[in-house]
Homo-oligomer: A and B are copies of this chain.
Amino acid sequence: MKKKLSIVDIAQSLNVSKTTVSFILNGRAQEKRISPELVERVLKYVEEVGYKPNSLAKSLRTGKSNIIGLMVEDISNPFFASIARLIEDRAYKNGYKIIYCSTDNDTGKTKDLINMFRDRHVDGYIIAPPEGIEDDLNSLIKDGMPVVMFDRHLPQVNADYVEIDNLFSTYNATLHLIDKGYKNIAFITFASRQTQMVARVQGYKDALASKGLTPVIKEIVFNQDEDLIIGPIESFLKEHTGLDAVFFGTNHVGACGLKVISSLGIKVPEDLAVISFDDYDVFKLYKTPVTAIAQPIIDIADNVITVLLNKLNNPLSANKPQGVILKTELRIRDSSK
A98 and B101 in contact, given A56-B120, A75-B85, A76-B78 (Cβ under 8 angstroms): yes
Of the four ranges (under 10, 10 to 19, 20 to 34, 35 or more), the interface on chain A belongs to 35 or more
A104 → chain B closest CB, angstroms: 9
Please determine whether B85 and A102 come into contact, CB atoms closer than 8 angstroms: yes
A82 and B76 in contact, given A55-B120, A98-B99 (Cβ under 8 angstroms): yes
Please determine whether A2 and B285 come into contact, CB atoms closer than 8 angstroms: no
Please determine whether A285 and B284 come into contact, CB atoms closer than 8 angstroms: no
**A144 at interface (Cβ–Cβ under 8 A)?**
yes
A75 and B59 in contact, given A52-B115, A99-B99, A282-B281 (Cβ under 8 angstroms): no
Give the complex CA separation of A2 and B141 in angstroms.
12
8 A Cβ contacts from A95-151 to B: 97-102, 115-116, 118-121, 142-144
The 8 Å CB contact of A52, one of B101, B119, B262, is: B119
**A74 at interface (Cβ–Cβ under 8 A)?**
yes
Give the number of times this chain occurs in the complex, counting copies: 2
**A316 at interface (Cβ–Cβ under 8 A)?**
no
Q: Counting chain B CB atoms within 10 Å of each CB, which of A52, A85, A115, A284 scores highest?
A: A85
The 8 Å CB contact of A76, one of B55, B84, B120, B144, is: B84
A142 → chain B closest CB, angstroms: 6
The 8 Å CB contact of A56, one of B2, B60, B116, is: B60
**A49 at interface (Cβ–Cβ under 8 A)?**
no
The 8 Å CB contact of A286, one of B60, B78, B285, is: B285
Give the complex CA separation of A59 and B52 in angstroms.
17
A266 → chain B closest CB, angstroms: 13
Task: Please list the residues of chain A having a beta carbon within 8 angstroms of any beta carbon in chain B.
Answer: 1-2, 52, 54-57, 59-60, 65, 67, 74-76, 78, 81-82, 84-85, 88, 92, 97-102, 115-116, 118-121, 142-144, 255, 258-259, 262, 281-282, 284-287, 289
Given A54-B119, A67-B99, A282-B282, 13 new contacts (CB under 8 A): A1-B142, A56-B60, A75-B84, A76-B81, A76-B84, A81-B81, A85-B102, A97-B99, A99-B99, A255-B285, A281-B282, A285-B286, A286-B287
